[in-house]
A and B are shown apart, each in its own frame.
Chain A
Amino acid sequence: MAAPAVPNIITLTHGKSHLALHLLREGWGRPLLLLHGLGEHSPATVPEHLAAWTGPVYALDLTGHGASTRPQGGGYTAEMLMGDVDAAIAHLGSVTVYGRGLGAYIALLIAGARPPDVHGIILADGPGLVGGGIRPGSPHIPEAGVEVPGAPDPFVLAEMSRDVRPADYAVEYVRQIMQWSGLDQPIVVTTVVRPEWLAAVVAEPGVVECSLADALALFVGPAA
């Protein structure tokens, strides 16, 4: 007989967006929340390199990606995507966040905005890590490609590969995290690539650079 089906997609609401939160693996303790990179979507199973996490593992499809809403007319910002993650936190409570690429930048923002609810962030390489650099380029009208069913919103690809990420703005979030997270080492950077916003993050006191295995060990444990 087949194992009983686990209801593995939870639908959350953030404003006019419906978001798919995937339960990849059940477990005890604080959840690990995975944020995909730009143009990606949540994996179907726990990736091998994250298997050491002992608690439950969830993954969120950000607006425009995976099984979440494709809005009309674009208008993406990192802050709005941070609000997507906040909807997951409202559902899950305290989480550790693992973010790839764009998801790493969003992880930094949400950890700075909800420091008591984010028990550590792990920033990893992935699509959308660089963004548009630390200052705006020449103004342009971001046009998008053709929409394909099931594929990411062409506007998220056009806009979130160009969003400006000033170094001092990223550092404001680091300081929020350092002041209010209650952790000595709340930010772990595992990336090989270091765009300017991330180099500024790494230069702040208390930010840790280490392997993914060490990062997981740093944050794993019972729910606060």
Chain B
Amino acid sequence: MTAAPTSTEAPTYPGARRPDRSRSVSSAGLRIAVYEWGAPDAPVILMAHGGFDFAGTFDVFAPMLADAGYRVVSWDARGHGDSEHAVLYSWAGDMRDAAAVLDTCGPDPVAILGHSKGGGVVLDLAHALPHRLRALVNLDGLPSKNNWPDLADHERTKMLRGELEGWLDHRRKVATTQRKPGSLVELAARRQRMNPRLSTEWLEYLVPIGAAASEDGYRWKIDPSLRLGGFGPWRPEWSMQRLPGIGVPVLGVLGLQMELMGWGTLPADVLPNLPPGAEFHAFDDIGHFVHIEQPRRIADLVLDFLDRRAG
């Protein structure tokens, strides 16, 4: 049995700062955990994390923006972090939760930033509620093509059968499933398989935030019914098709180092879709988690962009 460490043993990480304030928002009855860094009366940057992450993954990046004079607001997506585990999960549900948080950010239009799946959410929000935004930042959240590899039809049919049955078998068990417990070090090591470019020190810092301690160790808080990948009618390129129509200043960032959690999108996929005046940067030396791998560089990019374009 692994003893759960007390909070005094929680690891620290250089530059990481827990939010200055936390609160919760009801999204049609579902409790969403919301966090803020920076002065409450400063201009808002609303930030959406990616799938299987939580707002605590902004603990280095968000303070950099807050210290430059912004009120940074983020939230744990439904079923993630400290937000309530929902009966149902969908894109529409995530959109409504985002809008519920946005509704609590004051009457002025906000800058909105999304990473990965959160980048897709902010693209849709910019179309659904254009009057609420004054700038949009997308960090490696521009999916470009179908995930299906180029396979013969019969191979593809076999693969889909495995996915469908596997998902239904999983659904038959989820009422009683728990995430696997482990020590802080074990959970960080498991996460490193999904995030191979992130340091052990950083992942160990995240464990006491994203995981709950119990007698037999830590468990990630994310709803055990959620799993990576899967199938469905959604086509990644539909998100990219939101980009050309964005009417507020846009900053797009790609990390070109390929990894499991990324989309494999290339600059050539993005360039034809940029709206007039959009700014775009692709970094050869960064992976999918651009703001975690190089927080200072990305924060400076965002701050300079907002200074010039959303003042």
Give Cα A155 to B231, complex, Å: 22
B28 touches A79 (CB 8 A): no
Stretch at the interface among A25-33, A50-58, A135-143, A199-207: A135-143
> A82 contacts which chain B residues (CB < 8 A)?
168
Q: Mark B152-174, 1 if CB is under 8 A from A, else 0.
A: 01000100110011011001101
Among residues of A, the one whose C-beta sits closest to the C-beta of B241 is A136
Interface-central residue, B30, B96, B99, B234, by most chain A CB under 10 Å: B96
Question: What residues of B have a CB within 8 angstroms of the CB of A143 in the complex?
Answer: 96
- Residues in A whose Cβ lies below 8 Å from that of B29: 72-73
The residue that B95 contacts in the complex, of A76, A114, A139, A144, with Cβ under 8 A, is: A139
Residue pair B93, A86 in contact (C-beta under 8 Å) = no
- Shortest C-beta distance, B10 to chain A (Å), equals 30
Q: On chain A, which size bracket covers the interface?
A: 35 or more
Q: What separation, in Å, do the CA atoms of A220 and B85 have in the docked complex? A: 42
CA distance A13 to B225 in the complex (A): 13
Q: Tell me if A97 is interfacial: C-beta within 8 Å of chain B.
A: no
Question: Digit string of B49-87 for contact with A (CB within 8 Å is 1, else 0)?
Answer: 000000000000000000000000000001000001111
- With A and B bound together, what is the CA distance between A163 and B231 in angstroms? 15
Nearest Cβ distance between residue A67 and chain B, in whole angstroms?
16
Report how far A73 CA is from B231 CA in the complex, Å.
Answer: 22
- B233–A75 CB distance below 8 A: no
Q: Tell me whether B238 and A75 are in contact (CB under 8 A).
A: no
B88 contacts the other chain (CB 8 A) = yes
Query: Given contacts A17-B87, A86-B172, A139-B95, is CB(A73)–CB(B161) below 8 Å?
Result: no
Partner of B78, one of A73, A78, A86, A136: A73
A141 and B92 CA atoms in complex are apart in Å by: 7
In the complex, A74 Cα to B97 Cα: how many Å? 10
- How many Cβ-Cβ contacts under 8 Å join chain A to chain B? 127
A73 and B172 in contact (CB under 8 A), knowing A17-B87, A113-B165? no
User: With A142-B92, A159-B90 in contact, is A135–B157 under 8 Å at CB?
Assistant: no
Contacts of B192 in A (CB 8 A): none
B21 interface residue, CB < 8 Å from A? Answer: no
Bound-complex Cα distance A145 to B147 (A): 36
* Per-residue contact bits, chain A 46-81, to B (CB 8 Å; 1 contact, 0 not): 000000000000000001000001011111111110
Known contacts A72-B28, A172-B160: does B96 contact A142 (CB below 8 Å)?
A: yes
Query: Do A83 and B164 touch (CB < 8 A)?
Result: no
Once the chains are docked, how many angstroms separate the CA of A77 from the CA of B86? 13
Query: Any chain A CB within 8 A of the CB of B268?
Result: no
Given A114-B168, A135-B238, do A80 and B124 touch, yes or no (CB 8 Å)? no
Among A16, A80, A139, the most chain B Cβ lie within 10 Å of the Cβ of A139
- Which one of B30, B87, B88, B165 has the highest number of Cβ atoms from chain A below 10 Å of its Cβ? B88
A75 in contact with B95 given A15-B225, A113-B164, A140-B128 (CB within 8 Å): no
Contact of A139 among B28, B90, B127 (CB under 8 A): B127
Q: Which residue of B lies closest to A136 (CB)?
A: B238
Cα distance A86–B173 in the bound complex, in angstroms: 12
Residues of B within 8 A of A74 (CB): 28, 88, 90, 92-93, 96
Instruction: For chain A, residues 73 to 111, give those with C-beta under 8 angstroms from any C-beta of chain B.
Output: 73-80, 82-83, 86-87, 90
**A144-B30 Cα distance, complex, nearest whole Å:** 14
B235 sits at the interface (CB 8 A): yes
Determine if A121 is an interface residue (Cβ-Cβ < 8 Å).
no
Given contacts A71-B87, A141-B96, 18 further A-B contacts (CB under 8 A): A16-B87, A73-B78, A74-B92, A79-B231, A82-B168, A86-B168, A86-B172, A113-B164, A113-B167, A115-B161, A141-B128, A141-B129, A163-B233, A164-B234, A172-B157, A175-B153, A175-B157, A176-B157
Jot down 15 A-B pairs with beta carbons below 8 A, ordered by A.
A14-B175, A15-B87, A72-B87, A75-B86, A75-B92, A79-B167, A83-B167, A86-B171, A139-B242, A141-B99, A142-B95, A165-B233, A166-B235, A169-B233, A176-B164
